[in-house]
Chains A and B, each alone.
Chain A
Amino acid sequence: MYKYDEYDQSIVDARVEEFRDQVQRRLAGQLTEDQFKPLRLMNGLYLQLHAYMLRVAVPYGTLNGRQMRLLAHIARTYDRGYGHFTTRQNIQYNWIKLADAPDILAELAKAEMHAIQTSGNCIRNISSDQFAGAAADEVTDPRPWAELLRQWSTFHPEFTYLPRKFKIAVIAADEDRAAMRLHDIGLQITRRDGILGARVFVGGGMGRTPMIAPEIRDFVPADQLLSYLEAALRVYNRYGRRDNIYKARIKILVHEIGADRYRDEVELEFAQVLTLGIDPPAAELARISAMFAPPAFDAVPSVPHELAAHDPDFAIWRTQNVSAHKQPGYAIVTVSLKPIGGIPGDASADQINVMADLAERYSHDELRVTHAQNIVLPHVREADLYAVWQALADAGLAEANLDLISDIIACPGLDYCSLANARSIPLAQKIATRFAPRQQDLGELKLKISGCINACGHHHAGHIGILGVDRKGTENYQLLLGGSGAEDVSLGKITGPGFDEDGIVDAIERVADRYVAERSEGERFLDTYRRIGMQPFKEAIYG
């Protein structure tokens, strides 16, 4: 894992003291709310439906046990005993007091954490593949590149006041586990003729105008990547619209001027930026990469899967929530934060501590937060899987539902969010409860719920997506089918008129039944939808 150097630590510490002073001045009346709001947002502090909400950054979703334990401590000491893991691989707390916020940031800083780049029109926390460093299919570990981008983007003076927020994802495998092409910039680290570099996709995003990012460059050599990204951001900063918040994201710019012209503009700027020498020397890249060296894996044999058969519940979990590791004898565990009938992404302080313990004992002290609001233990010996599962089960964390219909992404919705139009969580609870008995039969089926058009719940990318809207003061839900955030990326299409809370659950049941009736052997819901199209599902839903 990356370790802060003196520069990292000093800027984070300085930021804490700066914010402490700002909070004191706000409470003393020396700053108005209009003056204070942008300052608190730059430190991840929102004013939400019930209280202040603090969003803590988890750069590229990577944590160690000590950091995870600190998150539990904050939940218990400053909040109400739990935290909510988000679709940006961060964690947020819903009940923060303004006067406590500087102390929380100070505690975070001691564990090399912060809340910078979790709000505002800057380059946000860089996201990445939760299986990075463990996945059998990756070209290289993408996290050194994500860390490089973190350092480049943090307090970048030119990109602190962009037209709108800016999200970057970095992956290094053909399988996209990070919804890479639904980001403002998506990078796929790849190798060409033995040289490391990146495919660059620009102009993706969800929100009210969902777009899949087109490929803007098929290869940028790694030693020119920062220059290229600097150019890509400069073009956006220059031409991106600032007159209309709804048209200010880079996806609108790329769409309006076209990918070809955007590409040409970036190339012109790139030629200029290259002369500035902003790319780091090889030694700096090597310094960062060394901190992401693989842990000291033991030479252990693979454990045959059949050994799980002695405990059927473990066997199901082993099949559903454990993924292949690149190191023989090891496995990747995804801890579901989606108990049937529970709140997607929420974890109590006790549960967070359990996961920290398991990381330290069984996973080389590493955890990852996934954009699907789960937690990963990336380096678990296969021989330890049963012990890990038992500990998770004791903590209520052993739901065997990864990528099944109850593994629902849901934004906080109207229960917590001041922007939301409808509640997301109760719907997720009803759907999970209704479909849990048949979820294994339904197979991979990614269901995602947003409580408003801002799409924090990624509804556009759901095999089944749900969008909550306000219809004359009452909650109403639109149904979408056919989205995907994976390497087969696509945007869901609305089926037709919306439903009330019970109606949407019934509609999904009709969709599921039609899928079961129409599917070919081994065919996922998404593949059936793509093969037969929307019409049979519309007929099933609306008659």
Chain B
Amino acid sequence: MNYLSLVMIEFKKIKSSKVLYIFLIATVILWIPSISNVHLNFTMENQGISPENNFFIQGFMGMSWFMFPASMVVGTVLVTQTERANKGILKMLTLPIGRAKLCLAKFIVLLTLGAIKIFMAACAYYMSAALCSATQNYNFILPPFFVAKEIILLFLSSIPMIAFFWALSVCIQVPLFSVGIGFASIVPSVFIINTKVWFAYPMSYPFFLITSEYGKLAKNLNTSQAEPIPFIPTAIFITVLCIAISCLCFGQDERR
């Protein structure tokens, strides 16, 4: 079985899960306050940020702080629990497929869920920006190239975090602990982005990068910027470590 068909099978498994509806509700809820408080975007002269940039960045900051990481924790539960219920995983493990290959296929599914979530947020942003432009007689729509750059950055920065959550859910068999630790690790990211060691904490990457983008867009704000070193090597190290650990642990418990 080639790798692509393995990934496609994994997608089939979660097809009836209605996860996209949950993502959709979350995305709609994310943009409602931005639409209802759109007039506040015109009062940001002190920060030196234009209303359209503020509208965009505030929405994405709200998402990257809590909603996006928490959705990913829920996503790990979805991917692991659908297999563990009724011992589906045992049947998968009897097939002549490498455990690591299976684990990586599931991880790709999780990454795709993350990408879909971000893409949905971007689509919802364009819809709400168009709506606000019509109601406020002011153009809130940003060029697609800029938005695409930001969402790609957000996605790339979230890969180490998703890898960490995935490693948690694979290594810790009790779903409660993996979810609990995952959720608990999101909460302190607000603290950690203000410290110098933020780059060692993958859960703070998306929020840190969006906050630093905010600093770039707002002329009068000085937010700390990501230095490529030590950020990129640490992020790659954490990702590789988490994926390696999850590949090693995958199916270990069922084999006993």
**Is B a genuine binding partner of A?**
no
